[in-house]
Amino acid sequence: MAEMVIKKKRPKNLDLMSIKLPLPGVLSIIHRIAGAVLFLLMPVLLWLFQSSLTSPETFAIFKSVVAHPLVRLVLLGLIWLFLHHFCAGIRYLLLDLHKGIDLASARLSSWIVFAVSLAMTLIIGVKVLW
């Protein structure tokens, strides 16, 4: 009888849109998504960079493609993914050093990561893309 384990009937919430994550949870999910997207796009970006350096003609082709507003928007999104992943990574390094692990500072640092990554994206996007 001691080996018998009583399993509790746990509630299941399969409606993922109704789950309200705290801001650090949202930050963590976006950090993981950004890392995966950047990892998967790295070969493509390196190939594009390498092929743009092969001749002045290919560079002119790439320059004309980047002039399209939709391509600039995608590049702005990639810049934000990189900067968000970078800033969140610094936050996680500080958390590993036990800095800011209480609830109030974890929420504050999440807001700071979002604010800094968006501000840096706007600054770099305006400077580089426009």
Distance CA 92, CA 87 (A): 9
Residue 96 has pLDDT above 80, yes or no: yes
What is the band of 1 on the pLDDT scale with cuts at 50, 70, 90? Answer: low
Give the pLDDT confidence score for residue 4 in this predicted structure. Answer: 66
Domain spans in the chain, listed from the N-terminal domain onward = 23-129
pLDDT digits (tens, 9 = 90+) for 51-66: 999 999 999 999 999 9
User: Which of 16, 21, 17 lies closest to 107, judged by CA?
Assistant: 21
Which 3 state secondary structure label does DSSP give 73?
A: helix
**Two structure tokens written together for 41:** 């796009």
> For the domain bounded by 23-129, which CATH number is listed?
1.20.1300.10
